Amino acid sequence: MDDITPYIVFSIIALVIGAQLYIRHKAMQVRGQPASILHSLFPDLPSKGKALVFCHSPGCAPCRAMLPHIRDLAENHPGVYTLDISQHLDLAKTVGIRATPTTLLIRDGRISQVLVGQKKPTALRRFLEEKA
Protein backbone atom coordinates (compact mmCIF):
# COMPACT_ATOMS: atom_id res chain seq x y z
CA MET A 1 0.00 0.00 0.00
CA ASP A 2 1.29 3.48 -0.89
CA ASP A 3 2.15 6.00 1.81
CA ILE A 4 -0.66 8.56 2.02
CA THR A 5 1.17 10.96 4.33
CA PRO A 6 2.01 13.47 1.54
CA TYR A 7 -1.67 13.56 0.53
CA ILE A 8 -2.77 14.20 4.10
CA VAL A 9 -0.20 16.98 4.54
CA PHE A 10 -1.21 18.55 1.21
CA SER A 11 -4.90 18.37 2.20
CA ILE A 12 -4.26 20.07 5.53
CA ILE A 13 -2.22 22.84 3.89
CA ALA A 14 -4.92 23.34 1.25
CA LEU A 15 -7.58 23.52 3.95
CA VAL A 16 -5.66 26.16 5.92
CA ILE A 17 -5.02 28.25 2.80
CA GLY A 18 -8.66 27.92 1.78
CA ALA A 19 -9.85 29.07 5.20
CA GLN A 20 -7.55 32.11 5.05
CA LEU A 21 -8.79 33.03 1.59
CA TYR A 22 -12.41 32.68 2.72
CA ILE A 23 -11.82 34.96 5.73
CA ARG A 24 -10.13 37.61 3.58
CA HIS A 25 -12.87 37.41 0.93
CA LYS A 26 -15.59 37.89 3.54
CA ALA A 27 -13.67 40.78 5.10
CA MET A 28 -13.46 42.56 1.74
CA GLN A 29 -17.25 42.40 1.38
CA VAL A 30 -17.52 44.84 4.30
CA ARG A 31 -15.57 47.55 2.45
CA GLY A 32 -17.72 50.48 1.48
CA GLN A 33 -20.46 49.64 3.97
CA PRO A 34 -21.76 52.44 6.21
CA ALA A 35 -20.06 52.53 9.59
CA SER A 36 -23.41 53.42 11.16
CA ILE A 37 -23.80 49.75 12.15
CA LEU A 38 -21.14 50.47 14.80
CA HIS A 39 -23.03 53.42 16.30
CA SER A 40 -24.88 51.23 18.79
CA LEU A 41 -21.59 50.61 20.57
CA PHE A 42 -19.71 53.76 19.56
CA PRO A 43 -22.29 56.59 19.44
CA ASP A 44 -19.57 59.22 18.99
CA LEU A 45 -18.07 57.51 15.92
CA PRO A 46 -17.45 60.42 13.53
CA SER A 47 -19.39 60.61 10.27
CA LYS A 48 -16.68 62.82 8.74
CA GLY A 49 -12.95 62.24 8.82
CA LYS A 50 -11.18 59.09 9.90
CA ALA A 51 -11.67 56.49 12.60
CA LEU A 52 -10.19 53.12 13.45
CA VAL A 53 -11.93 50.21 15.17
CA PHE A 54 -9.62 47.47 16.45
CA CYS A 55 -11.50 44.17 16.84
CA HIS A 56 -9.89 41.69 19.22
CA SER A 57 -10.58 38.73 21.49
CA PRO A 58 -9.05 37.70 24.83
CA GLY A 59 -7.56 34.44 23.56
CA CYS A 60 -5.80 36.04 20.60
CA ALA A 61 -2.02 36.40 21.13
CA PRO A 62 -1.50 38.86 18.22
CA CYS A 63 -4.37 40.94 19.64
CA ARG A 64 -2.70 41.11 23.03
CA ALA A 65 0.52 42.21 21.34
CA MET A 66 -1.26 44.99 19.44
CA LEU A 67 -3.49 46.32 22.24
CA PRO A 68 -0.84 48.50 23.95
CA HIS A 69 -0.06 50.15 20.60
CA ILE A 70 -3.76 50.69 19.90
CA ARG A 71 -4.18 52.27 23.34
CA ASP A 72 -1.24 54.59 22.59
CA LEU A 73 -2.90 55.58 19.32
CA ALA A 74 -6.18 56.23 21.16
CA GLU A 75 -4.43 58.59 23.57
CA ASN A 76 -3.04 60.70 20.72
CA HIS A 77 -5.74 60.44 18.06
CA PRO A 78 -9.49 60.91 18.34
CA GLY A 79 -11.58 58.25 16.68
CA VAL A 80 -9.68 55.14 17.82
CA TYR A 81 -11.92 52.46 19.32
CA THR A 82 -11.51 48.88 20.50
CA LEU A 83 -14.13 46.16 20.16
CA ASP A 84 -13.83 42.97 22.21
CA ILE A 85 -15.80 40.62 19.98
CA SER A 86 -16.23 38.10 22.79
CA GLN A 87 -18.41 40.71 24.53
CA HIS A 88 -20.25 41.79 21.37
CA LEU A 89 -20.69 38.67 19.22
CA ASP A 90 -23.87 39.90 17.53
CA LEU A 91 -22.23 43.14 16.43
CA ALA A 92 -19.14 41.26 15.22
CA LYS A 93 -21.34 38.96 13.13
CA THR A 94 -23.27 41.92 11.73
CA VAL A 95 -20.06 43.68 10.76
CA GLY A 96 -18.62 40.47 9.34
CA ILE A 97 -15.66 39.95 11.68
CA ARG A 98 -14.56 36.35 11.23
CA ALA A 99 -11.04 36.49 12.67
CA THR A 100 -9.03 38.50 15.14
CA PRO A 101 -7.26 40.78 15.07
CA THR A 102 -9.24 42.73 12.50
CA THR A 103 -8.90 46.47 12.10
CA LEU A 104 -11.63 48.51 10.43
CA LEU A 105 -10.43 51.74 8.87
CA ILE A 106 -13.27 54.20 8.50
CA ARG A 107 -13.27 57.26 6.29
CA ASP A 108 -16.19 59.70 6.12
CA GLY A 109 -18.65 57.30 7.73
CA ARG A 110 -17.83 54.27 5.56
CA ILE A 111 -15.61 51.28 6.17
CA SER A 112 -12.80 51.99 3.72
CA GLN A 113 -10.45 49.12 4.57
CA VAL A 114 -10.54 45.89 6.52
CA LEU A 115 -7.15 44.68 7.77
CA VAL A 116 -7.09 41.07 8.95
CA GLY A 117 -4.17 40.00 11.10
CA GLN A 118 -1.49 41.75 13.10
CA LYS A 119 -0.44 45.12 11.65
CA LYS A 120 2.40 47.46 12.46
CA PRO A 121 1.37 50.43 14.62
CA THR A 122 3.21 52.77 12.23
CA ALA A 123 0.89 51.78 9.37
CA LEU A 124 -2.19 52.47 11.49
CA ARG A 125 -0.75 55.79 12.69
CA ARG A 126 0.00 56.73 9.07
CA PHE A 127 -3.65 56.13 8.13
CA LEU A 128 -4.85 58.37 10.95
CA GLU A 129 -2.38 61.16 10.20
CA GLU A 130 -2.47 61.27 6.40
CA LYS A 131 -4.47 63.99 4.71
CA ALA A 132 -7.83 62.97 3.28
The percent of residues in the chain predicted with pLDDT above 70, rounded, is 97
pLDDT of residue 107: 93
- List Cα–Cα distances, 32 to 5, 29, 115, in angstroms: 44, 8, 14
- Residue that wins the pLDDT comparison between 32 and 83: 83
| Region of poorest pLDDT, from 24-33, 79-88, 103-112 | 24-33
Q: Which helix (H) or strand (E) holds 126?
A: helix 121-129
What does the pLDDT average to over 78-96?
91
Domains of the chain, by residue range, sit at 5-129
Give the pairing type, strands 80-84 and 110-116. Answer: unpaired
pTM metric for this prediction: 0.80
List the CATH code of the domain at 5-129: 3.40.30.10
Answer whether residue 74 shows pLDDT above 60: yes
